[in-house]
Amino acid sequence: MSIVFPSRTEILATADIDRAIKRISHEIVERNTELSHVVIVGMQTGGTWIAERLAKGVQQIEPSSSVPLGAVDISMYRDDFSLRPIVLSAPTDIPFDLTEKTVVLVDDVLFTGRTVRAALEALNDHGRPRAVQLAVMVDRGHRELPIRPDYVGKNIPTHFSDEISVGPDGVFVTVVEKGQA
Amino acid sequence: MSATKSIVIRGATVVNPDAVFEADVRVVGALIDAVGDALEGDIVLDGKGCYVSSGFVDLHTHLREPGKEEAETIESGSRAAALGGYTAVVAMPNTDPAQDNVATVRFVREQGIKANLCEVMPSGCITVGRLGAELVSYAGLADEGVTLFTDDGTGVQDEDTMKRALVSARLANVTLAQHCEVSSMTNGAVMHDGACCSSLGVPGWPSLAEEQMVQRDIDLVRATGAKMHFLHLSTQGSVQMVRQAKAEGLPITAEVTPHHLSLLDELLTSFDPIFKVNPPLRTAADIAALKAGVLDGTIDAIATDHAPHAGHTKEQPLDQAPPGMLGLETALAVVNTSMKLDARKIVELMSWNPARIAGLDARHGRAVAVGEPANLCVWNTADVWEVSREGLASKSKNTPYHGMNVRGRVRHTLFNGQIVVNEGKATR
Amino acid sequence: MNHLLSTHDLSIDEIVQLLELADHMAEINSRAVPKVPALRGKTIASVFFEDSTRTRLSFETAAKRLSAEVMTFSASTSSVNKGESLRDTIETLTAMGVHAFVVRHKSSGVPKQITQWTNAAVVNAGDGWHQHPTQAMLDAYTITRNFGDKESMAGRTIAIVGDIKHSRVARSNVDVFTRMGANVVLVAPDALLPSSIEGWNVSTASSIDEVVGHVDVLYMLRMQRERMDESLVISLKEYTDLYALTEERAARLAPHALLMHPGPINRGVEMQVDPSEVPGSRILQQVANGISVRMAVLFSLLGGEISPAATLGGEA
């Protein structure tokens, strides 16, 4: 049997990510006329840095506004404990009530939608938001639940077994050959 | 009746007090008929690679009948004894009713005769009901053939009672056997009082509780001139005291169990009541001292303290479970695995000396010679086997050696000239 | 981790990880609705053969906040009184579909024994004088979070005062504190020290006055009056003279020093000062932390494997 090494391909470079964040920040401002009701909540741990950058981006566009920033940990809300290990991230940090707010929920990658489902449940324990909007850097498809993003950095068609890594330094896809995953 | 068939044990090494030599042994009826080369017989037992010696004698067996037949009966215990190579066992008196009266003593002896697997020699109690107060009539039970008296399970706590017991025992020419334990020091005790015990957080069983009574009894033997046997010594201090007392010429004998030669207190970290025993498993230093005592003759005998307990009683919390472990079927192998002893020493510790201490030496613990009673055991020190509690003949399963590999095995046992164990299997 | 029977079963890494998980639980507990669905569908039996209202409530609260079903078994109202054996009790409850047992028993070792009769996880909620691992975890949590050092308590001096010999709390805490790098001093009369502290890696002192001025944590144990009946201590007065925390002694605690106690407090015996008047007292904080730590323990036993290594990449 021949050994196949996974290939790692850059999909977005640092500059692409910066542009995407700037664009999404504009979209958030355009879509939410009452900016004072908007809060941004990043999902631990992959979504938090994006949430921070989005909050800054919104502030740059509307210097008078100050969008509260939070982080949500969904480990206690997952429905697949038996399927994969829990990654210990930082705890939830939402030091404000979400009732009647519009929450922009931020994650790095949207895939099956299960993490977002868990996050929606987690948000509910911090009040009843007026609306939740979803922002992701990458939508890679393969949804298993009726969830769709409101803001997308980039749509990237992938194989189910591919691995995607997202960071400030770029987005990379690693193709994992069948039998190797 | 048909003519008695002769039995030949072929190719084994005879172990006698004065010589160890290869020879065939022929048994006819209840006696040894011939010892020599190339003997023929009706039944041939393979003795190749084995020793043949007088059958083992256990000074310390709990048969549980009458009273706790769910744990063991005299028949099941006798079978376990035969499989362990024993042709005689001293039945401990902590039955219910206790063996402090003629009727119970007779019952035990007769059940042994009925089982007909080994000689069951009842011991008597030192005090009525083993309560430590009123003395039993030693002369009365001596008439029934009882030679050894003990309150085993507890020691006689009161000094004056013990002193009077020794005086009476001397007059009746019987031996008292003490379970050395100052009970006020072992209240609720679970295991040896040492580092492991402190770390596990259970009440400790100090060495001193044994040693204080050993010392007291040595002093009382000196004062009374009576014979005394120390049961299941477990501490280095005890061994040293007995060594000195013997050097002084006092009429003292002592035994040690296979488990005190082989198992450490640390086994209790499992909290498994299977390892709870009285006296408790001790430390490596104690084991070393006991072994030294065995080698230099301070310890006269290996005795099993075979203590069957029904399964559910050992499923209780450690502090509530009864102490005690099985021993008859594993004694030879455990001793042989734990320390390097030559065959002659093994027979001395397991047959000749205990037979003499129990006053059984007219029938047991004798030389393998023409005209001697055919109470014999054929065994080796080489076979490695895994102890399995399911494979034991005892009604109970509380062996601490389950799953362990041991070396040395009993192959055949002859009791009164009858094959009771053949190729490691009980014949009835 | 299949069971939590003793602190000795946990490596330092595992302890640190459990305490980090407790941070998550503390956040949940700070919410208006302190409940998450993490253990939905799991059944936890709290099996207390020995009464302990506070430990039982702490575990049951922890279980409920994780949305587990709680089955309460108390020996005083059960068939144990009718002679049912330990094994039968556990096998019966197991047959009812229990995922974890939380066990308290007056005999050392019972939680460990129970593991042979069930395939459910077993958590030791205190056995005899042996171990009380969740107490040690919640104490370690309280100390590290107060001193702001998550990884260790290296170099801290912790005095544990009182009946060490009969204390499962002492045995668990000594193990965890020393392995996390603290200097532990046992303060007790000889009769209340275990006969051997070989391998405990602690020092000893014979009165509270010797240590009170320079400890980082003063950990008072409950002094049971029964011990005086057993004449292990000559008199209450003798004991309190040397080992009780008085107002005067409390005043000598360093400003940063913490006062801790596993509860319930014996006012007038080991505590002759009102703890609410000692600024360093963290006794109620211990109780609150107990829920977070027990949630962490239950979650790590029943919530699936926990991977310490954070990996980027979002959803798998």
- Put simply, whether C312 touches A (Cβ < 8 Å) is yes
In the prediction, which pLDDT does A176 show? 77
Whether C179 is catalytic is: no
Cβ–Cβ contact C69 with A under 8 A: no
CATH of domain B54-357: 3.20.20.140
Candidate list C40, C54, C225, C237, residue with the active-site label: C54
End-to-end CA separation in angstroms for chain B = 21
C57 and C94 housed in the same domain: yes
Instruction: Give percent of chain B above pLDDT 90.
Output: 99
Name the residue among B198, B200, B319 with its Cβ closest to that of C195.
B198
The answer on C280 and C198 residing in a single domain is: yes
Q: Which residue of A has its CA nearest to C301?
A: A81
Closest Cα in chain B, distance from residue C304 (Å): 27
Q: Please check whether residues C110 and C219 belong to one and the same domain.
A: no
**Which positions of chain B have pLDDT values less than 50?**
1
Residue A80 CA to its chain's centroid (Å): 19
Out of C112, C129, C166, name the one closest to residue B271 (CB): C112
Instruction: Give the count of domains, chain C.
Output: 2
- Of A86, A107, A111, Cβ closest to residue C303: A86
Residue C2 lies in a domain: no
Gap between the Cα atoms of C134 and C10, Å rounded:
11
User: Could you confirm whether domain A13-158 is CATH 3.30.1490.190?
Assistant: no
Closest chain A residue to the Cα of C309, Cα to Cα: A87
Q: Which residues pair with A127 in a beta bridge?
A: A125
Interface of C with A in 21-60 (CB under 8 A): 21, 23-24, 26-28, 31, 33, 35-38
pLDDT at A181 over 60: no
Task: Using an 8 Å CB-CB cutoff, list chain A residues near C27.
Answer: 73, 91-93
Report pTM. 0.91
Kindly state whether residues C144 and C120 are assigned to the same domain.
no
The predicted pLDDT at position C307 comes to: 59
**A71: which strand partners?**
A42, A93
Structure token pair of residue A65: 């506004």
Q: Which residue has the higher pLDDT, C82 or A14?
A: A14
Residue C239: inside a domain, yes or no? yes
Taking 70 as the pLDDT cut, the residues of chain C under it are: 76-83, 151, 228-234, 305-316
Pairing assessment for the beta strands A38-43 and A69-72 based on DSSP bridges: parallel
Judging contact as 3 or more Cβ pairs under 8 Å, the answer for B and A is: no
Asked about C82 being catalytic, the answer comes back as yes
Structure tokens at A44: 């631990």
B285 close to C (CB below 8 A): no
CB of A104 closer than 8 Å to CB of A40: yes
Query: Which residues are CB-contacts of C243 (< 8 A; sequence separation ≥ 6)?
Result: C161, C162, C187, C188, C189, C207, C208, C223, C270
Q: Which of A127, A81, A98, A88 is nearest to A38 (CA)?
A: A98
Return the pLDDT at B412.
Answer: 98
Instruction: Let me know if C65 is a catalytic residue.
Output: no
Task: Check whether residue C124 and residue C155 sit in a common domain.
Answer: no
Task: For residue C316, tell me if it sits in a domain.
Answer: no
Among the listed residues C3, C65, C99, C104, the single catalytic one is C104
Phi-psi group of C241: left, alpha or beta (phi > 0 → left; psi -120 to 50 → alpha; rest → beta) = alpha
Residue C307 lies in a domain: no
Average pLDDT, chain B: 97
Q: Do B270 and C194 touch (CB under 8 A)?
A: no
Q: Is residue C310 part of a domain?
A: no
Are A46 and C313 in contact (CB < 8 Å)?
yes
**pLDDT of C82:** 63
Secondary structure letter of residue B136 according to DSSP: P
From chain B, the residues in CB contact with C131 under 8 A are: 201
Residue C184 shares a structural domain with residue C291: no
Instruction: State how far the Cα of B314 lies from the Cα of A101, in Å rounded to an integer.
Output: 63
* Residue whose token pair is 């397991």: B350
The minimum CA-CA distance between C17 and chain A, rounded to whole Å, is 8
Sheet hosting strand B119-122, strand order edge to edge: B56-61, B86-91, B119-122
Is C303 touching A (CB cutoff 8 A)? yes
Domain span at residue C186 reads 133-286
Among B33, B151, B305, B361, which one carries the catalytic annotation?
B305
Show which of residues 105-134 on chain C sit within 8 Å of chain B, judged by CB atoms.
Answer: 105, 107-110, 112-113, 128-131
Q: Is C144 helix (H, G, I), strand (E, B) or coil?
A: helix
User: Domain check: are C181 and C53 in the same one?
Assistant: no
Q: Does C96 touch chain A (CB under 8 A)?
A: no
Enclosing H/E stretch for A61: helix A48-61
**Domain ranges for chain A:** 13-158
Q: What is the pLDDT of residue B4?
A: 82
CB neighbour list of residue C273: distance below 8 Å, 6 or more residues apart: C245, C246, C247, C249, C250
For residue B129, the Cα-to-chain-centroid distance in whole angstroms is 22
Touch between chain A and chain C: 3 or more Cβ pairs under 8 Å: yes
Structure tokens at C148: 């702001």
Q: Which residue has the tokens 């498994």?
A: B272
B357 Cβ under 8 Å from any chain C Cβ: no
- pLDDT at position B407: 98
What pLDDT score does C239 carry? 86
- Best CA proximity match to B418, nearest among B115, B155, B187: B115
The predicted structure's pLDDT at residue C312: 34
**CATH number of the domain enclosing C42:** 3.40.50.1370
Flag whether pLDDT at A7 surpasses 90: no
Task: State the DSSP string of A109-145.
Answer: EESSSHHHHHHHHHHHBTB--SEEEEEEEEE----SS
Among C87, C108, C198, beta carbon nearest to B201: C108
- Our CA angle for C80, C82, C85, nearest 5°, is 45
CB contact under 8 A, C27 and A45: no
What class has domain B6-51+372-426? Answer: mainly beta
The pLDDT value given to residue C75: 75
